[in-house]
């Protein structure tokens, strides 16, 4: 048994700050109260005790080409199959990809992240490489795979279906790049097979104005319309909605925004204030490791400050922090509540406002402990 004592905990899904102790046994939160003090004591005086973070969108594979491609166009950097990212991944040795991914995974753990949803390139082998990289690191990858077949012109749909089924045996879901790269038939096969197997289907939408315009000319629908029509579970980016896009989304579909990546690739700023005002499953991710470190503190601060700069309204910092602590697609991830798994990080309290202490000031060096179920990572 472990007691985390004397910290300010951010309790429940409301992240209510309370000075209480937490008793943990067998990886679960047994009791939260002012006076419980049993087993090993972790002193959290002058600290904040918060749920670990979820990075809802990454491409961890491109850890091998960090900061390469700066100055090139969006398509030259990340568009499959000839963006420098894809060429680099194809030409790299497996061991180099694994080692680069391990570096990023360790950086994520040390900055409070316990779960991440990754768009894994490279088919079955790509999934295997990430599993190999993460096997000894206390972080949970949710792996969304793809096959190069998806992105071919006029692919054989029977072969596509077989490829999807094979991927779903080892991966948590499927994520093609976007509607610029796949046909609607392929999109439909992906979402159907994911639904049947209770797995996640995810796709990039409305990342660039150009992609949205191309979608209208080619399919007479925006990328968001196509994604909703095809029943994808997660829409990533939503940076440049057009026409009726904002009205189409509802809480059955997770929207994941990536403001830092959008800025790094000159794609615009997602309409976060409008999204926050809707009753949505809304999350945040750091996207390509080649342009961004996978550190969620950096993403949170950038997002919060960008919003303050672009809005005249009061922005609730708690709602910004929640973007990194909640994703309806990850079923077992817990808030700090009796009966839940213990997935928390303890960080130095750097200001009286616990939300702003994390968003504005927390860095990796301020994390004192991370407790991920039974694994205690003392730093
Ligand atoms: Zn992405």
Domain ranges (residues) in the chain? 2-51+332-378, 53-322
Q: Exposed, middle or buried, 92 (CB in 10 Å: 0-12/13-18/19+)?
A: middle
Question: If pLDDT is split at 50, 70 and 90, which confidence band does 313 have?
Answer: confident
351 CA distance to ligand 1 middle (Å): 33
Q: Is the peptide bond before 81 cis (omega within 30 degrees of 0)?
A: yes
- What are the structure tokens assigned to 61, written together? 């594979």
Give the SS3 label for residue 91. helix
57 CA distance to ligand 1 middle (Å): 6
378 CA distance to ligand 1 middle (Å): 32
Give the SS3 label for residue 16. strand
- For 6, 74, 246, 294, the CA distances from 242, given in Å and listed in that order, are 49, 20, 8, 29
User: How many C-beta atoms surround the C-beta of residue 71 within 10 A?
Assistant: 6
The owner of tokens 């992609």 is 211
- What are the structure tokens assigned to 188, written together? 């439909």
Query: Per-residue pLDDT tens for 110-129?
Result: 999 999 999 999 999 999 99
27 CA distance to ligand 1 middle (Å): 32
Q: Radius of gyration (Cα) for the chain, nearest Å? A: 21
- Just give the CATH number of 53-322: 3.20.20.140
Q: What is the mean pLDDT of residues 342-347?
A: 95
220 CA distance to ligand 1 middle (Å): 24
Distance (Å, whole) CA 44 – CA 114? 20
169 CA distance to ligand 1 middle (Å): 23
Query: 373 CB contacts (<8 Å, ≥6 apart)?
Result: 27, 341, 342, 343
- Looking at the predicted structure, is the pLDDT value of residue 357 above 80? yes
61 CA distance to ligand 1 middle (Å): 11
Question: If pLDDT is split at 50, 70 and 90, which confidence band does 259 have?
Answer: very high
237 CA distance to ligand 1 middle (Å): 8
148 CA distance to ligand 1 middle (Å): 16
Q: What is the pLDDT of residue 377?
A: 72
95 CA distance to ligand 1 middle (Å): 23
Residue of higher predicted confidence among 21 and 279? 21
Q: What is the pLDDT of residue 169?
A: 98
Domain 2-51+332-378 has CATH 3.40.50.300: no
- Looking at the predicted structure, is the pLDDT value of residue 55 above 80? yes
289 CA distance to ligand 1 middle (Å): 10
Q: What is the pLDDT of residue 70?
A: 86
- What are the structure tokens assigned to 371, written together? 């407790």
113 CA distance to ligand 1 middle (Å): 18
Question: If pLDDT is split at 50, 70 and 90, which confidence band does 56 have?
Answer: very high
The owner of tokens 């639904």 is 195
286 CA distance to ligand 1 middle (Å): 9
């Amino acid at each position: 048994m472990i007691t985390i004592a004397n910290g300010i905990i951010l309790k429940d899904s409301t992240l209510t700050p309370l000075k209480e102790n937490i008793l943990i046994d067998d990886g679960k939160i047994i009791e939260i109260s002012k006076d419980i003090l049993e087993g090993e004591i972790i002193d959290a005086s002058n600290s904040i005790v918060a749920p670990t973070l979820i990075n809802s969108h990454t491409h961890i594979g491109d850890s091998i080409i960090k900061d390469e491609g700066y100055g090139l166009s969006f398509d030259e950097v990340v568009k499959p199959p000839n963006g420098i990212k894809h060429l680099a991944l194809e030409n790299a040795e497996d061991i180099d990809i694994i080692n680069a991914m391990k570096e990023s995974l360790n950086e994520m753990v040390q900055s409070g992240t316990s779960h991440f949803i990754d768009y894994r390139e490279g088919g079955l082998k790509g999934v295997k490489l990430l599993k190999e990289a993460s096997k000894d690191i206390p972080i949970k990858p949710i792996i969304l795979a793809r096959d190069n077949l998806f992105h071919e012109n006029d692919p054989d749909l029977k072969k596509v279906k077989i490829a999807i089924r094979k991927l779903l045996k080892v991966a948590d879901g499927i994520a093609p790049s976007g509607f610029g790269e796949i046909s609607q038939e392929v999109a439909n096969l992906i979402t159907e097979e994911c639904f049947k197997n209770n797995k996640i289907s995810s796709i990039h939408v409305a990342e660039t104005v150009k992609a949205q315009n191309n979608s209208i000319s080619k399919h007479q629908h925006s990328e968001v319309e196509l994604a909703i029509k095809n029943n994808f579970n997660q829409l990533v980016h939503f940076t440049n909605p057009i026409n009726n896009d904002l009205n189409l989304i509802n809480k059955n579909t997770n929207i994941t925004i990536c403001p830092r990546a959008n800025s790094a690739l000159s794609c615009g700023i997602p309409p976060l204030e409008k999204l926050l005002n809707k009753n949505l499953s809304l999350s945040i991710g750091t996207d390509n490791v080649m342009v961004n470190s996978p550190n969620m503190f950096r993403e949170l601060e950038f997002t919060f400050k960008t919003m303050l700069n672009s809005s005249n309204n009061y922005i609730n910092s708690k709602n910004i922090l929640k973007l990194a602590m909640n994703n309806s697609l990850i079923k077992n991830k817990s808030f700090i509540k009796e009966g839940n798994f213990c997935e928390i990080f303890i960080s130095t309290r750097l200001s009286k406002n616990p939300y702003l202490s994390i968003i504005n000031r927390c860095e990796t060096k301020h994390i004192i402990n991370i407790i991920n179920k039974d694994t205690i990572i003392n730093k």
